[in-house]
Structure 1
Amino acid sequence: MPIAPTQEIVSRAFDQGYGVAAINVVNDLSMAAVLAAAEELAAPLIVQTSVKTVRSIGAEVLYAMWRAMAAQVAVPVALHLDHCPDRAVIATCLRLGWNSVLFDGSKLSVEENQRQCREVVEEARPYGALVEGEIEPFARIEDTGEAGITPPELSLAAAVDFIRDTGVDVFAPAIGNAHGMYRATPTLDNQRVTDIVAATGIPVALHGGTGMSAEQFSDLISRGCAKVNISTALKIALMSAGQAFMNDHPGAFDPPSQFAVQHAAVKEMAANHIRMFGSDGKAGRAS
């Protein structure tokens, strides 16, 4: 079975200086497409699910779908629950077999976030699951039009204290990144990544990857961003390909043909990011 602990996948990337693509999927088609890209490029992959996707498909059905599809690939893959503030959803996903979770307590006070994140780490340990944590909330481009800005009151010392106290395995800092599609190449505080890694020795997760330049990815990965999140790019590829198909074939209501076009578009998007992050060829083949 190629399903591997997220910790194993991320630690190897961190040690060897490449980034693992962590791609948010929204349905069976997109899950199959990103797994196909990883298989073709012999790359490790983290498949991510949002709380919205877990709730819309159903945790049990989604996990069964994941198990069946992951069994067909020969590279290490892991399933991650992204940005979840709901402790009940975290508990359900850990029980079913998700390999890692991001407890999103960014809307809480730092103290309450830290307390609950510490509890999530304790909850996840018996399952062998990795826990990602964050302090600062990430802006959404569609809401603000601007990239996120690290609140000045949340110092490096606060981030280091959070990491050490909670025992999280991966930390997601705000460095000027944001969710959504940037209107211009964002200005990022790359040094913050270097400082966090130097102070704690743990990998950093880069959020808001869609729209960053290849040079930004390369620099941030070299500083310790071993997990690189991609979500908006998948939605764009999936929906744009479907729209283009319908425009090119008016009145041809042929779902399998449309799905094939969308699968190809999502697979290409995933492959492009895998290559950009330097993880192609890093998985070998699972035995």
Structure 2
Amino acid sequence: MPLVTTTEMFKKAYEGGYAIGAFNVNNMEIVQGITEAASEEHAPVILQVSAGARKYARHAYLVKLVEAALMENDIPIALHLDHGADFDICKACIDGGFSSVMIDGSHHSFEDNIALTKKVVDYAHAHGVVVEGELGRLAGIEDAVNVSAEDASYTKPSEVEEFVTKTGVDSLAIAIGTSHGAFKFKPGQKPQLRFDILEEVSQRLPGFPIVLHGASSVNQEYVEMINKYGGEMPDAIGIPEEMLRQAARMAVCKINIDSDVRLAMTAAIRKHIVENPGHFDPRQYLSPARDAVKDLVKHKIVQVLGCSQKA
């Protein structure tokens, strides 16, 4: 099966009250773990690549890894650029085989965000590629994204209709209280998503697919494993999974998950190395890491996203 865009995925997800998982990929084991999990659950999936991943693994390697996954798995797979910072990186990914790109103009003024997003949309649509835009700014740090709590801002529902109409974007990332990275909330702080904003956005944009970034839940089991086997992670609190499931039942059609993948992989690697100090073959510690990613993604598909058997 060739790469697909997210258009049909999102249409079915909106109508079915579930979301598609968009998992960040950086290497072969992550690609394999994610796509094997999605294949076994017969679920559509989005593999997304950040600027940091393109720098680390390089564009061509990542595209070929995804092509290999398409050969191995008969499920809908979209290849998406996560947080494209400017027109040039979006163009490079469109020309380089991606089926979806995100242009993140949220750090610009509303007017400049519209202009930049429309420029990307015009080029992408001419090449059969779909575009995700963003209104509002999430706090947190993840790869090249670094927004302080002071600079974060909720999406203004009053702006969404004008933004979507003037840009022609295919989906919209909004800020309702999620944040990038594993350390979203301080210990004792109660996570809360602004479902009132999501509800008003969905009323203003009926049937339009909404995206949530920064949606890792930070499984404490992985945090404890990392600390047990030589780590020094502070307490980390993520987004409760029941909140994400509620968002998926509403207008949210795409939920981004990155930190949870990293935590699962790192915990498995540390555990294996500590318990098997004589092992030096990367295959020996990357195999359980791949299995950990697969188990995590299966859990998300079934318990959080609700997209099992939706391929």
* TM-score normalised over the length of structure 2: 0.85
Partners of 1:194 and 1:17 in 2: how far apart?
Answer: 14
Could you tell me which residue of structure 2 aligns to residue 218 of structure 1? Answer: 245
How do 1:41-190 residues align onto structure 2 when only pairs under 5 Å count? 41-140=41-140, 150-151=153-154, 155-181=156-182, 182-183=184-185, 184-190=189-195
2:196 matches 1:195: no
What SS does the corresponding residue of 2:81 show, helix, strand or coil? strand
3-state DSSP class of the match of 1:134?
A: strand
Q: Secondary structure at the match of 2:192?
A: coil
**Alignment partner of 1:251 out of 260, 267, 278:** 278
Counterpart-to-counterpart distance in 2, 1:264 and 1:69: 16
Q: Which runs of 5+ in 1 are unaligned?
A: none
**Distance in 2, Cα, partners of 1:145 & 1:119:** 28
Partner of 1:204: 210
Give the C-alpha shift of residue 174 in structure 1.
Answer: 0.7
Distance 1:148 1:109, change over 3 A: closer
Alpha carbons of 1:148 and 1:261: their partners in 2 closer, same or farther (altered >3 Å)? farther
1:112-166 CA-to-partner distances (Å, cap 9, x unmatched) read 1110101111011022211111122211068789698535xx6321222111211
Structure 1 partner of 2:33: 33
SS at match of 1:178: coil
How far off its partner does 1:3 sit? Answer: 2.4
Task: Return the offset for 1:42.
Answer: 0.5
SS of equivalent residue, structure 2 residue 176 = coil
Separation of aligned partners in 1, 2:192 and 2:151 = 10
Match of 1:236 in 2: 263
Alpha-carbon shift at residue 8 of structure 1 (Å): 1.5
Cα–Cα, structure 1 residues 203 and 27, in superposed 2: closer, same or farther, change >3 Å? same
| Aligned counterpart in structure 2 of residue 260 of structure 1, from 273, 277, 287 | 287
Higher mean displacement: 10-19 or 117-126: 10-19
Residue 190 of structure 1 aligns with an amino acid whose one-letter code is F
What's the counterpart of residue 309 of structure 2? 281
How many percent of aligned residue pairs carry the same amino acid? Answer: 30
| Cα offset, 1:86, TM superposition | 2.8
Runs of 5+ consecutive residues of structure 2 not aligned to the other structure = 218-238
Give the aligned residue type for 1:169: D
- Check 1:265–1:57 CA distance in 2 against 1; reply closer, same or farther (3 A cut): same
Partner amino acid for 2:4? A
Aligned-pair CA distance for 1:20: 0.6
Paired letter, 2:172: F
- SS of the residue corresponding to residue 79 of structure 1 reads strand
SS in 2 for 1:179: coil
Q: SS of the residue aligned with 2:125?
A: helix
Q: Determine if contact 1:175/1:188 at 8 Å carries over to the other structure.
A: yes
What residue is the counterpart of 1:3 in the other structure? 3
Task: Please state how far the C-alpha of 1:209 moved relative to its aligned partner.
Answer: 0.9
Structure 1's 82 and 144: CA in aligned 2 closer, same or farther, altered over 3 A?
Answer: closer
Q: Deviations over 1:80-135 (max 9, x none)?
A: 10011132221111012211111011221221111010111101102221111112
**Shift in CA distance, 270/107, structure 1 to aligned 2, threshold 3 Å:** same
Deviates more, 1:126-135 or 1:72-81: 126-135
Q: 2-side partners of 1:145 and 1:136: how far apart? A: 13
**Partners of 2:24 and 2:48 within 8 A in 1:** yes
Task: Measure the CA separation in 2 of the matches of 1:68 and 1:29.
Answer: 12
Superposition deviation, residue 179 in structure 1: 0.6
In the superposition, relative to structure 1, how do residues 16 and 136 fare at CA in structure 2: closer, same or farther (>3 Å)? same
Aligned counterparts of 1:105 and 1:120: Cα–Cα separation in 2:
11
Does the Cα contact within 8 Å between 1:210 and 1:232 map onto a contact in 2?
yes
Output the CA distance in 2 between the equivalents of 1:64 and 1:263: 18
